[in-house]
Amino acid sequence: MSEPLNYEDFSVGQQFGSAEGYVMDKDRAIAFAHEFDPQSQHLDDEAAKDSIFGELVVSGWHTAAATMRLKTETELFKVANGLVGMGLESVRWPIPTRPGDTLHILVTILEMRLSKSRPDKGIIKYKVETLNQRGELAMEMITSVIVPRRAA
Question: What are the backbone dihedrals phi and psi of residue 144, each rounded to the nearest 5 degrees, phi first?
Answer: -130, 150
Residue 15 lies near a second copy (rule: CB under 8 A): no
d(CA 118, CA 138): 36
Among 68, 111, 120, 133, binds a second copy (CB under 8 A): 68
Task: Pick the closest to residue 96 from 142, 42, 152 (CA basis).
Answer: 42
**Binding piece for a second copy, criterion CB under 8 A, among 10-18, 36-44, 99-107, 118-126:** 36-44
Give bridge partners of residue 113 from the DSSP assignment.
Answer: 123
Q: Minimum distance between the CB of residue 89 and a second copy, rounded to whole angstroms? A: 6
Q: Minimum distance between the CB of residue 32 and a second copy, rounded to whole angstroms? A: 8
Give start and end residues of each alpha helix (H) in the chain: 26-36, 40-43, 45-49, 60-71
Q: Minimum distance between the CB of residue 15 and a second copy, rounded to whole angstroms? A: 22
Residue 86 lies near a second copy (rule: CB under 8 A): yes
Among 12, 19, 23, 88, binds a second copy (CB under 8 A): 88
